[in-house]
Amino acid sequence: MTASFKLGVLDQSPIAEGGPGAQALRNTIELACRAEELGYGRYWVAEHHGTPMLACAAPEILVGAIAAATSRIRVGSGGVMISHYSPFKVAEVFSVLGALHGKRIDLGIGRAPGTDRETIAALQRDRRQFLPDDFIEQVAELLAYFDGGFPDDHPFARLTRLPGAPGSAEVWMLGTSVQSATWAADLGLPYGVADFINPGSADSARRYRERFTASRHLKRPLVAVGVGVVCAETDEEARRQASSWQMAITLAERGQFAPLPPVTKALAFQASEREPLGFAGRRVVVGSPETVRNEVEQIAVDYGADEVLLHTLMHSHAARLRSYELLAAAFGLGSTGERHSARKRR
């Protein structure tokens, strides 16, 4: 059985211990430009709030900055956590981005808050109570702004004349659950699955494909899977570099949030722990280019993925750049980010 897929990047703008968040954001711009040169086809930035480990608090600003610094690669949010915002404002922002940068802007939308309860309250304008979980209603309203989907007598009907028209963004539904897959399929939207958060999400991708209904947005199902990876020249060096991510996620699980530690500190922490360090139940593929390629190929087959977005957290920006360079070579990327063929291992 053979599957083919495109490669892209999902970036959370990691903050390295000893470096400011501003440097993490500059690193994101540099990595995006390098990803375009290497032939990656898509570059998404995430949304997280109130954490000293990740600088990606405003994906809409990063999308604009990356799109301005590049010329070919698709750029988008992976994703905007729409529960914090007015769908109208999100539609306005991404219509402007689409108008400025042509048909290469993606708007990935997610249900998760991307933070803790205190930060959720701080993000709200009205702090008297938490907002209701009306995600699918927000998505429907967002699409109506882009599509002119309000009835003529609806009070918001005139608001479909967005400031960036006729520019627009390609809307993606993001998730890890059967529910998000069902919504994406029923709305006829492309579906992004975060395997690095929930490695048991292949059933969601299957449900999406089985239930998919064609729409004006999409004629056939389209699945992108986000996969955590750490790659270096050798398996041993990759494991060393991965120790920073392992330490950071281990401490976060204990309620101790901090920037990504340097490898020497992470290895010392690893040696002091009674149990071997892991990734707190997440899947991260660690190894040499061949090791990572083989495992990513199998994950792509498991999901029936049309695209794989590689997600990497490292303390060293140079090592992170090198990881993406090695994988671009391993997958045989060209200047246009052509599809890669993966053969299922038996």
Whole-angstrom Cα distance, residue 91 to residue 265?
44
| Mean of pLDDT values over 137-158 | 90
Comparing 274 with 345, the larger pLDDT belongs to 274
Cβ burial of 335 (10 Å; 0-12, 13-18, 19+) is exposed
Provide CATH code, domain 2-343.
3.20.20.30
- What are the Cα distances from residue 317, in Å, to 19, 245, 276? 11, 13, 25
pTM of the model: 0.93
- What are the Cα distances from residue 153, in Å, to 40, 141, 142, 158, 160? 45, 15, 18, 9, 13
Residue 265: band (very low, low, confident or very high) from pLDDT cuts 50, 70, 90: very high
> Does residue 164 register a pLDDT over 90?
no
Residue 1: band (very low, low, confident or very high) from pLDDT cuts 50, 70, 90: very low
Residue 151: band (very low, low, confident or very high) from pLDDT cuts 50, 70, 90: confident
Task: Tell me if 241 sits within 8 A of 316, measured CB to CB.
Answer: yes
Residues forming a β-bridge with 109 = 80, 173
Residue 114: band (very low, low, confident or very high) from pLDDT cuts 50, 70, 90: low
> Does residue 311 register a pLDDT over 80?
yes
What's the pLDDT tens digit per position in 250-262?
999 999 999 999 9
Question: Domain segments of the chain: what residues?
Answer: 2-343
What's the pLDDT tens digit per position in 17-37?
999 999 999 999 999 999 999
The pLDDT value recorded for residue 341 is 55
> Does residue 116 register a pLDDT over 80?
no
| Mean of pLDDT values over 337-343 | 51
Residue 339: band (very low, low, confident or very high) from pLDDT cuts 50, 70, 90: low
Whole-angstrom Cα distance, residue 134 to residue 297?
36
> Does residue 161 register a pLDDT over 60?
yes
| Mean of pLDDT values over 193-218 | 95
Judged by average pLDDT, the poorest of 102-106, 122-126, 146-150, 326-330 is: 122-126
Whole-angstrom Cα distance, residue 26 to residue 20?
10
Whole-angstrom Cα distance, residue 64 to residue 319?
26
How many Cβ atoms from other residues are within 10 Å of residue 18's Cβ? 11
Task: Tell me if 17 sits within 8 A of 262, measured CB to CB.
Answer: yes
What percentage of the chain carries pLDDT values higher than 70?
95
Q: At what angle do helices 235-253 and 263-272 cross, to 10 degrees?
A: 70
- Whole-number average pLDDT of the chain: 92
The pLDDT value recorded for residue 120 is 78
Buried residues in 278-302 as b, exposed as e (16+ CB within 10 A): ebeeebbbbbbbebbbbbbbbbbbb
